[in-house]
Chains A and B, each alone.
Chain A
């Protein structure tokens, strides 16, 4: 049979869902292919959503019309504030999602759209005409045609599960892998490499001795990921904390000869930010006490995720080692931890729109681009969904930059940097983390969201009004003054505040550590605002000097962005470049100098050479 739609999405994980929903909300007719409809929106690894960098990604995805933030707000067991003492830019949320509810409700959401068709079929081949994708073929010999196609295949391309000496083809433990599709990608000029990632064992809640572990709760009245969420109460179920002991370390050491990473069964690169317990002991043999979090996966199951215990050691070793951990002496493993190797496409072959440079109208999102993480996948899925829709409507793509979002950083990084491991977003990847906070994502991307067109018009207009009010109020506070009169100082004294000797602005008063918006009332006519408005007003005023400093740095970046690299440049003729810089420049083909700064292996020396060379080129001093 053959069928036609606007956009095909391959893969029903966190990237595929966002791509599908974004395209559908933009009015496109979408067909979503999944290998198992019951596994749509499955969280393959831990139940956690958010955390540093990732929280920011979720908030950015949210304002652009994505689903992940709202859905997490609705279906979680706990939300916790992290980094509460490290400054306003570091404050983020982390949720323990209810994996089962998350999955079921997401499927319901997708099914509620009349312009989304869900099909359980394995896509095996791309259909191309003159380097443009026309559609896909599936294993059961069906052909589907669409104007654009988005691949969000996760770990399923030639996926191989490894537990000790045992390995088998699977896209996730207990599920099929897609054995054909990456051959088709290769045939059509995409470079395919392999990465590896791993997940810890799941144990039975009934086998834990809770007297030996520490209960950890989230917030009773949490903040939420989505600016749209209005919720009066939230579940606050515990997770539990325990630690490795000297016996654990000894047991790991004893079993290291069985570890696939020691034996060489696994040679591919895994994420350094998510080291296995084997790797932790190999790299830091002197460290005894590693944290182990026990996290409930759902209200509907008694499976517990053993966070901090990622491993692909053989089954017997996993059990032996777990039993050395306080509280887990009688542990019953329900699913063993395992590693999975999979194919990904060299993301240097992508444009910032996430369309491939090689095949027109083909977009890639999520782990197929070498990234790791639900939030990273969702963000890319959203961008791919928006840009595929725009492309087939003949519109300009939505491009985010390093200076306005973590999504911009994520995409720019994977397009330009050498991938040495599955990519994860982190605050330290940002040069402007004070500006790219989770709390202000809705403000900094308001205009971009208008451009994207996914979010409801009404919501956008409402948020625009709030944004305007915030700006006006900040200005009013900066421009109002208080004078060292007797009454003023008396009031300050009553508030246990230091008195003033000369005129100061209300902003200066608000900048005092102990002050907040409501406390300036005796000196300033305050207004009724929403909670999120007050939060923005306080941050803008309190951190004005630091934010201003960052803005200066952002301007520098804009200058670099304006220094264009002529497309005719031949890097082989720029003698002074180091070999690695030359290879990477040829590979990435940056459009401006700012992009060069982010290419791995390109030093300042190389950049200086390149800038001077381009100047000579423009001056006509080259033959």
Chain B
């Protein structure tokens, strides 16, 4: 049996409520020592399963906070152990105090991810699901959430098993002719092996292609808004924010000069970075801000380059535009509500362009659409439930498998014999096995007996 663990489950810092979570066989005993019910006629001993109970947390005689306590009895809990969740007033000090009391009365401090580890160790979830839960916690967008959930449902496993079966068929055929040379079973033709491997290779490649996309979706797309001073950067930011007001998260900027905001466009999370206006300056403080802008620009996945339609296109603006990576830049031509002074011919065809008026909120929808299509390189209508690889472990394993397949193909092309093909093939299969379950030799043997009539 595992020791009883405790941890603060809400983010550190100020919040409306904080939650301290306890899991383990002693969870209720510990609660009994620190919790008094508001209604004194009821006893902490026989609280109902899945009930929410109002009362107070004490450290001995000393009152700490007024709380709601959720009771969850094993085995139908997240960890399959007895669990208690103490919902207290948010704030660093109160939650910390309650955590300390739970430790004082018998719990030990949980390590990172230990609740999920317990869920895994107690057989509630698979390793893959555990990873997905971590991803879900860390996901910042709807699309990423839906991706984690579909992993939870085993879609990835299904896809991997499919590929694995293709490889298994190849290796079975190789093995059967090595294991049973006098059975009159035809040797696999190199070109057929090559082709069958090609199918598996293609499937893995297309899964891997989703990784960059998946990663971006999971982490949010770093979007730099740049332009000369007063072209309307802040108003564009505000206009975009207005659209999604309900789910905006304010992240305090790390510097005074760069403000980060999160917005969601069609299920994708964008981290908008409003930079200081870029221009030649002698002002040291302003120059520092501009330097930071340039750094933000370099690390950005997406650049919104704002120009003012009501002004001439200046030389340094042109130079800045030239220095940008076309594939990740959208030129946002603002102030369409004013008289046009900008010579549109100066902005080349190769750029994606959107005309808007931030003040009048015109063209914002088009801007969002352009952003989405640039990032995902797909139409907005794309399905939400496609598999995306957004986990580095999965990616590494798939790459290993892909490399294995490529080596097998090379081995075949070089005319090497069957047993060497089998060695590389094993690498390819191992890669996939790292993601889901396993292929043991026993499986290969079973497959042989299913597919071929062998033995004398």
Q: Which residues of A contact B (CB under 8 A)?
A: 46, 51-53, 82-83, 85-90, 92, 94, 271-275, 280, 283-284, 287, 289-291, 293, 307-308, 310, 417, 426-429, 431, 433-434, 513, 543, 546, 549-550, 553, 573-577, 597-598, 600, 603-605, 608-609, 612-613, 616, 621-623
Q: For residue A272, which residue of chain B has the nearest CB? A: B449
B181 interfacial by beta-carbon distance below 8 Å: yes
Asked whether, in the complex, the Cβ of A308 is within 8 Å of the Cβ of B426, the reply is: no
Residue contacts A-B, CB under 8 angstroms, 20 given: A52-B179, A53-B179, A87-B418, A89-B420, A90-B181, A90-B418, A94-B182, A273-B454, A275-B454, A293-B456, A428-B444, A428-B448, A543-B420, A546-B420, A549-B427, A576-B120, A577-B123, A612-B121, A622-B2, A623-B1
Chain B: which residue is nearest A409 at the CB level? B441
Cβ contact within 8 Å between A273 and B455: yes
Would you call A86 and B177 a contact (CB within 8 A)?
yes
Known: A82-B182, A575-B80, A576-B120. 13 other contacts (CB 8 A): A52-B179, A85-B417, A86-B177, A86-B417, A275-B454, A427-B178, A428-B179, A433-B419, A576-B122, A597-B440, A608-B120, A623-B3, A623-B25
Q: Does A608 lie within 8 Å of B127, measured CB to CB?
A: yes
Contact B456 A310 (CB under 8 A): yes
- Inter-chain contacts of A289 with B (CB < 8 A): 184
A513 partner residues in chain B, CB cutoff 8 A: 415
- Is the beta-carbon distance between A426 and B455 smaller than 8 angstroms? no
The residue from A94, A308, A434 contacting B419, defined by CB atoms under 8 A apart: A434
Query: In the complex, A541 Cα to B324 Cα: how many Å?
Result: 52
Bound-state CA distance A280–B420 (Å) is 31
Q: Provided the pairs A428-B441, A616-B2 are in contact, do residues A609 and B123 lie with their beta carbons within 8 angstroms? A: yes
Residues of chain A contacted by B351 (CB below 8 angstroms) = none
B2 and A623 form a contact (CB under 8 A): yes
Contacts of A307 in B (CB 8 A): 456
Nearest CB to that of A605 among chain B residues? Answer: B126
* Most chain A C-beta atoms within 10 Å of own C-beta, residue among B80, B120, B121, B177: B121
Contacts A600-B442, A609-B123 given: A275-B453 contact, CB under 8 Å? yes
Give A290 to B426 CA distance when docked, in angstroms.
Answer: 31
Contact check, A429 vs B441: say whether CB atoms are below 8 A apart.
yes
Q: Which residues of A contact B3 (CB under 8 A)?
A: 621-623
> In the bound complex, do residue B108 and residue A52 qualify as a contact, i.e. CB atoms below 8 Å apart?
no
Chain B residues positioned under 8 Å from A608 (CB to CB):
120, 127
Say yes or no for B15: interface residue by CB 8 A criterion: no
Contact B182 A293 (CB under 8 A): yes
Cβ of B423 and Cβ of A550 under 8 Å apart? yes
In the bound complex, CA of A573 to CA of B180 (Å): 44
Q: A291, B417: Cβ atoms under 8 Å?
A: no
For A576, give its contact among B123, B181, B416, B422 (CB under 8 Å). Answer: B123
Q: How far is the CB of A322 from chain B (nearest CB, A)?
A: 16
Give the chain A neighbours of B426 by CB distance below 8 A. 431, 553
Residues of A within 8 A of B427 (CB): 549
A-chain residues with CB within 8 Å of residue B126 when the two chains form the complex: 605
Are B1 and A622 in touch, CB under 8 angstroms? yes
Partner of B175, one of A88, A427, A550: A427
Q: Which residues of A lie under 8 Å from residue B183 when comparing CB positions?
A: 291
Min distance, Cβ B46 to any Cβ of chain A, angstroms: 24
Residue of B whose beta carbon sits closest to that of A612: B121
Tell whether, in the assembled complex, residue B455 and residue A275 are in contact, meaning their CB atoms are under 8 Å apart: yes
Check if B406 is an interface residue, CB within 8 A of chain A. Answer: no
Determine the main DSSP class of A at the interface with B. loop
Q: Could you tell me the distance between the alpha carbons of A603 and B127 in the complex, rounded to whole angstroms?
A: 12
How long is the Cα–Cα vector from A87 to B80 in the complex, in angstroms?
A: 52
Q: Which of A287, A429, A605 makes the CB contact (< 8 A) with B437?
A: A605
> Contacts of A621 on B, CB cut-off 8 Å?
2-3, 108
Taking CB atoms, residues of chain A closer than 8 Å to B415 are 513
> What residues of chain B lie closer than 8 Å to A550, measured between beta carbons?
423
- Contact call B181/A52, Cβ cutoff below 8 A: yes
Pick the contact of A272 from B422, B444, B455 — CB < 8 Å?
B455
Q: State in angstroms the CA–CA spacing of A396 and B1 once bound together.
A: 37
Within the complex, the shortest CB–CB distance from A31 to chain B, in Å, comes to 37
The 9 closest A-B pairs by CB, nearest first: A87-B417, A87-B419, A576-B123, A604-B438, A428-B175, A86-B418, A89-B419, A575-B122, A273-B455
- Judged by a CB distance under 8 angstroms, whether B17 is at the interface is no
Contact string against A for B residues 110-129, beta-carbon threshold 8 Å, 1 for contact and 0 otherwise: 00000001001111101100
Segment 135-193 of B: residues with Cβ below 8 Å from A: 175, 177-184, 187
Does B433 count as interface, using CB distance less than 8 angstroms?
Answer: yes
Taking a contact as CB atoms under 8 Å apart, the answer to whether B182 and A86 are in contact is no
B108 touches A83 (CB 8 A): no
Q: Give the nearest-CB partner of A597 in chain B.
A: B440
Q: Could you tell me the distance between the alpha carbons of A411 and B127 in the complex, rounded to whole angstroms? A: 32
Tell me the bound Cα distance from A600 to B448 in angstroms: 17
In Å, the complex CA distance between A94 and B456 comes to 14
User: Closest residue to B24 on the A side, CB-wise?
Assistant: A623
Specify the chain A residue showing the minimal Cβ separation from B177. A86
Note all chain A residues with C-beta closer than 8 A to B178: 52, 83, 86, 90, 427-428
With the chains together, A280 CA to B423 CA distance in Å?
Answer: 30
With both beta carbons as reference points, the residue of chain A lying nearest to B171 in the complex is identified as A428
Q: How far is the CA of A613 from the CA of B177 in the complex (A)?
A: 41
Q: Is B344 part of the contact surface with A, judged by Cβ < 8 Å?
A: no
> Among residues 406 to 428 in chain B, which have CB atoms less than 8 Å away from a CB atom of chain A?
415-420, 422-423, 426-427
A contact residues around B80 at 8 Å (CB): 575
Which of the residues A273, A287, A434 comes within 8 Å of B420, measured between beta carbons? A434
Cross-chain contact A604 with B433 (CB below 8 angstroms): yes
Instruction: Tell me if B93 counts as interface (CB < 8 A to partner A).
Output: no
Q: How far is the CA of A86 from the CA of B80 in the complex (A)?
A: 52
| Residue B338 CB within 8 A of the other chain | no
Q: Is the CB of B445 closer than 8 A to any CB of chain A?
A: yes
Q: Is A287 in contact with B123, judged by CB distance below 8 angstroms?
A: no
CB distance from A429 to the nearest CB of B (A): 5
Q: Decide if A612 touches B117 in the complex (CB within 8 Å).
A: yes
- Nearest-neighbor residue (CB-CB) of B110 within chain A: A621
Contacts of B184 on A, CB cut-off 8 Å?
289, 291
Contact with A along B329-359 (1 / 0, CB 8 A): 0000000000000000000000000000000
- A576 to B420, Cβ gap below 8 A? no
The complex places the Cα of A119 from the Cα of B273 at a distance, in Å, of 93
- Selected from A293, A426, A622, the residue in CB contact (under 8 A) with B179 is A426
Give the docked Cα–Cα distance between A429 and B180 (Å): 13
B445 touching A428, Cβ below 8 Å: yes
Instruction: Please pick, from B121, B416, B438, B440, the residue contacting A613 in the complex, using a CB distance under 8 A.
Output: B121
Q: Is the CB of B121 within 8 A of A576?
A: yes
Considering the chains assembled together, what is the distance between the CA atoms of A31 and B427 in angstroms? 50
Name the distance in Å between A332's Cβ and chain B's nearest Cβ: 22
Nearest chain B residue, comparing its CB with the CB of A549: B423
B421 to chain A, nearest CB (A): 8
- For residue A272, which residues in chain B have a CB less than 8 angstroms away from its CB? 449, 455
A418 to B108, CA, bound (A): 41
Residue ID in chain B nearest A271 by CB atoms: B455
> In the complex, which residues 203-238 of chain B have their Cβ closer than 8 Å to any Cβ of chain A?
none
Q: With A427-B178, A604-B433, A609-B121 as given contacts, are A86 and B187 in contact (CB-CB < 8 Å)?
A: yes
CA distance A623 to B106 in the complex (A): 12
Shortest distance from the beta carbon of A235 to any chain B beta carbon, whole Å:
19
Say yes or no: B453 contacts A280, CB within 8 Å. Answer: yes
Chain A minimum-CB-distance residue to B75: A575
Bound: A52/B440 CA distance, A: 20
Chain B residue, CB-CB nearest to A550: B423
Interchain nearest-CB distance for B191 vs A (Å): 16
Instruction: List chain A residues, Cβ under 8 A from B180.
Output: 52, 273
Q: Are A603 and B438 in contact (CB under 8 A)?
A: yes
Give Cα distance in the complex from A597 to B25, angstroms.
31
Closest residue of chain B to A283 (Cβ to Cβ) is B453
Q: Measured between alpha carbons, how far is A307 from B182 in the docked complex, in Å?
A: 11
Q: Given A86-B187, A575-B121, A604-B437, are A274 and B423 neighbors across the interface (CB < 8 Å)?
A: no
The answer to whether B418 and A308 have CB atoms under 8 Å apart is no
CB-based contact A546/B182 at 8 Å: no
Chain B hits for A426, CB < 8 A: 179, 445
| A575 to B117 Cα, complex, angstroms | 12
Residues of A within 8 Å of B422, CB to CB, are: 433
In the complex, which residues of chain B have a beta carbon less than 8 angstroms from the beta carbon of A429? Answer: 441, 445
